[in-house]
Structure 1
Amino acid sequence: MIKIIRTDSKNSDFSGLVKELDAYLKITDGDEHEFYNQFNGITVLEYVVVAYLNDEPVGCGAFKRFGDSSVEIKRMYTMPKTRGQGIATKILNHLENWAKELNYSSCVLETGIRQKEAVQFYKKNKYTIIPKYGQYVNMDNSLCFEKLI
């Protein structure tokens, strides 16, 4: 059974999953990894979820404030051995609902075009491509998305 808990960036299971995510991104981002990595610090994340399957941490996600009415989804990850079981969707839905509870009306995010599974995942979950924002404006590898919640 999948259990999702709300926590913050001090959670050790979250930190462990993010280490796995960063190792994956270092390969897929290639030479651009250091640029992207500077924007992925987790110490500022107050809104974090961790998914457990049979009490084992298997996925995570977070968000941070992005303007007055939006949050930015960050650090979405599901362990490869548990992909295809709907865990990422449950994580994302939980983050969206939490943001709604806090009176936000949309979620934005950035992912890389090389993360083909992530791009398809966000499209499947009704995120639409928007113009690149902030630090991603001049990054050819970046795709930015938004969803009204």
Structure 2
Amino acid sequence: MNIIVDDLSGGEVVALLEEHLADMYATSPAESVHALDVDALKAPEIKFYSAWNDNSLLGCIATKRLTAGHIELKSMRTVKTARNLGVASKLLNHVLELATQHGYLTVSLETGSQDYFLAARNLYQKHGFEYCGPFAQYTADPNSRFMTKTLVDVELEEINEH
């Protein structure tokens, strides 16, 4: 699997994002949908990544810079044919590693509270995310669940081991 920084110009990626938005509006009230469209994902504070196997799109994920030490996960999606193959975990690990390398201390996200989002919430918990209150521009919403993860500085961890 090859994960690249994507400029959102490819038809496959755009189609996956359109499918993602359609599912979000089908499962949540419009005022509770916080997924971004393609134009919004091109904002300078957002980095968008896509995962490929040869010429086949497997999935995508984006990060949005909130502050110098805090990013938000956005638009995580796996194509239907690649689900349950570890693509989401690899994408998530990729952005968590990059976040650590770039000095971010916290990674947060908003996802749905409905059963449709249970697999996503379980994935985030498996990767060390914990439930939290609203952050950044979000407000309390019964259709949203907020999660966060504090990144461990590898150098501090190594110092503490010695």
Question: Per the shorter chain, which TM-score range?
Answer: 0.7 to 0.9
**Equivalent residue letter for 2:24:** L
1:91 aligns with 2:91: yes
In the alignment, the residues of structure 1 paired with residue 125 and residue 41 of structure 2 have an alpha-carbon distance, to the nearest angstrom, of 25
Whether the 8 Å contact between 1:8 and 1:46 is mirrored in structure 2 is no
CA deviation after TM superposition for structure 1 residue 125, in Å:
1.2
**Equivalent residue letter for 1:124:** K
| Cross-structure match for 2:4 | 5
| Cross-structure match for 2:159 | none
Whether the 8 Å contact between 2:25 and 2:33 is mirrored in structure 1 is no
Are the structure 2 counterparts of residues 119 and 91 from structure 1 closer, same or farther at C-alpha, using a change threshold of 3 Å? same
| Cross-structure match for 1:48 | 48
Are the structure 2 counterparts of residues 34 and 43 from structure 1 closer, same or farther at C-alpha, using a change threshold of 3 Å? farther
**Equivalent residue letter for 1:25:** M
| Cross-structure match for 2:79 | 79
CA deviation after TM superposition for structure 1 residue 148, in Å:
1.6
Segment drifting more, 109-118 vs 135-144: 135-144
CA RMSD, aligned part only? 1.9
Structure 2: segments with no counterpart, 5+ residues: 152-162
1:120-131 equivalence runs, <5 A: 120-131=122-133
Secondary structure of the residue that 1:138 maps to in structure 2? coil
The structure having more radius of gyration, on CA atoms, is: 2
In the alignment, the residues of structure 2 paired with residue 119 and residue 69 of structure 1 have an alpha-carbon distance, to the nearest angstrom, of 23
Whether the 8 Å contact between 1:61 and 1:74 is mirrored in structure 2 is yes
**1:116-140: CA deviation from partner (whole Å, max 9, x where unpaired):** 1111111111100011224432311
Secondary structure of the residue that 2:33 maps to in structure 1? helix
1:1-149 equivalence runs, <5 A: 2-10=1-9, 12-29=11-28, 32-37=29-34, 40=36, 41-44=40-43, 46-114=46-114, 115-149=117-151
CA deviation after TM superposition for structure 1 residue 8, in Å:
3.7
Runs of 4+ in 1 over 6 A off after TM superposition: none
TM-score (norm 2): 0.80
Are the structure 2 counterparts of residues 9 and 105 from structure 1 closer, same or farther at C-alpha, using a change threshold of 3 Å? farther
TM-score (norm 1): 0.86
Secondary structure of the residue that 2:41 maps to in structure 1? coil
Whether the 8 Å contact between 2:46 and 2:65 is mirrored in structure 1 is no
CA deviation after TM superposition for structure 1 residue 16, in Å:
2.5
**Equivalent residue letter for 1:71:** I
